[in-house]
Amino acid sequence: MSTTTEKKALKGGEFLIRETQAHEVFTPEDFSEEQQMIAQTCRDFLETEVYPHLDEIDSMKNPDIMPELLNKAGELGLLGTAVPEALGGFGMDFNTTMLVAEVLGGGHSFAVAQSAHTGIGTLPILYYGNEEQKKKYIPKLATGEYKAAYCLTEPDSGSDANSGKTKAVLSEDGKHYLITGQKMWITNGGFADIYIVFAKIADDKNLTAFIVEKAFGGITMNEEEKKMGIKGSSTRQIFFNDCKVPAENMLSDREAGFKIAVNILNVGRIKLGVAALGGSKMIAHSATNYANERKQFGTSISSFGAIKHKLATMAVKIFVSESAHYRASQNIDDAYNAFVKAGVAPGEARLKSLYEFAIECAILKVHGSEVLDYCADEGVQVYGGMGFSAEGPMDRAYRDARINRIFEGTNEINRMLCIDMLLKKAMKGELDLMTPAMAVQQELMSIPDFGAAEDETLFAKEKKILLNLKKAGLMVSGAAIQKFMDKLSNEQEILMNLADMLIEGYAAESALLRVEKMVSVKGEAACALEIDMMRIYLYEATEKCVLAAKEAIYATSEGDTQRMMLMGLKRFTKLEPMNLKDARRRVADKMIKENKYPFS
């Protein structure tokens, strides 16, 4: 089967039951010169326009600074990367928009404003708007002439978005809807010109979405929220008081709002994950700089083993998260191209491709945000007392990082979504989980073949570990389903155990595929440190999976069944010894020598 044909056949979540080949995945090493130039434009923008003004941005004393920054970003085309050329944008592929989101993700509060504007503020109109709506709004959103915000969350409606109480009442002449209600935590709320507002009409079960201009009137707002982090991001409560919205400003169909909200979140999740990756790289760079500069006991602290451990672990997590994000984003692009070739309209094709890989989007939101959390926490530790000082860069990085585990659905919600979506795909017949799950059950009952010859090819052992991790996941998932059946959704702790196994398996496999592809191009010796990072993560991921699996096994089985599953888990997670300390030191030494995160 050709590579192209295999790519067409790939489905979201299929990584659990299908062996992916290294030549199938996109890696950051595959970015073109043009894409690298775009990334450099983003870095230059942060260096010249954002970083010199971070204190001013966070102080919120100048309410015009963020809109002005967005205007400047618009002039460079950084707000229109995903917008088709016909509507005033650059029409870049999804992978390129991901690269832009990654680099700008190191921009603290600016990154939040830019992401909200280009993502949840613009994309609902681009993907769901009719031709008149798109022509009216998208070009001005792409240039920054209009700034956008997304009004979904309410005081009593957070994760349960469809329970919102905001109402839209049709006027007697049928020409307008009068929207009344309260929205909260609205990013860009203080300066936005356009709001995507979700409300219910009459006794509808589901939300309806509207494009609301601030100029329509009937809109008031509270003062800026006082937040732990991202202090320079405008966050307001917004009140709609009989806001008069033309009937033609309904977005898509009546009661389509919940579908819009869910589907746009798929974009938001993977974009948040990759933006967190950008923030992680910035922290790793700063921490390495400081470790080289800071001297204690007559030597740079970067020479100490404990510091090397922290720097190397940052690098490992960043490398793995980067591998996983661009693997998934290329899958999304491939699916999009296949839908378009089949005759699907581009906007619908983009939504269908994102929906297809919604599992991966949720996985990466969790992984990226938790990598950033680790880097921020250990970044403070590397800086020591200066890390706790507001005069140093880690204070802002630490506070700004924390929101990402809450944004775009909490990490707990996303963990449960991973498993829920996977099981729904299986029930619909879109993924055959039953056949491999039954094969694992048969393997558990069989006697291990201790006499089998070992495959001595490069990465054969790592591939076997990953295959066995997938088997362990199928084994534990099958036991949970058998015990709880349709009530499994109530067992949130078990769902999160299963999700952790899924997330770690996907991340570790992504790193292995990237390294294998790199070795095929550059050779094993040139990729020695990348091999180290991949193996370090694979070992750590296996240990995490063991803990998650044991907790789930203890909660789903007892007696002989439990003993058999624990024996199976031990068989599936067997690791040969590896000197992790020396591997981490090799990675850290490279960072220390180059005084940065050097693996991109």
Catalytic residues: 408
Q: In the numeric block, which tokens belong to residue 183?
A: 């929205």
Give Cβ neighbours of residue 167 (< 8 Å, ≥ 6 apart). 179, 180, 181, 199, 200, 201
Closest CA to 268 of 378, 168, 385, 150: 150
What span, in angstroms and rounded, lies between the C-alpha atoms of 322 and 316? 10
Alpha-carbon gap, residue 152 to 158, rounded angstroms: 8
Q: What angle do CA 264, 266, 267 make, to 5 degrees?
A: 70
Give the position of tokens 């050709």.
Answer: 2
Cα atoms in the Cβ-side hemisphere of radius 13 Å centred on 129: 21
First to last CA, the chain: 32
Q: Concatenated DSSP letters for 275-340?
A: HHHHHHHHHHHHHHHHHHH-EETTEEGGGSHHHHHHHHHHHHHHHHHHHHHHHHHHHHHHHHHHHH
Round to whole Å and give the CA distance between 98 and 337.
17
**What dihedral angle (degrees, nearest 10) is formed by the CA atoms of 239, 244, 249, 253?**
80
Pick from 129, 161, 354, 130: nearest CA to 263: 354
Tell me which residue of 576, 561, 512, 537 sits closest to 25, measured CA to CA: 512
Q: Which residues pair with 178 in a beta bridge?
A: 169, 244
Q: Is 509 within 8 Å of 428 (Cβ atoms)?
A: no
Helix (H, G, I), strand (E, B) or coil at 251: strand
Phi, psi of 439 (to 5 degrees): -65, -35
- Among residues 222, 213, 286, the alpha carbon closest in space to that of 243 is found at 213
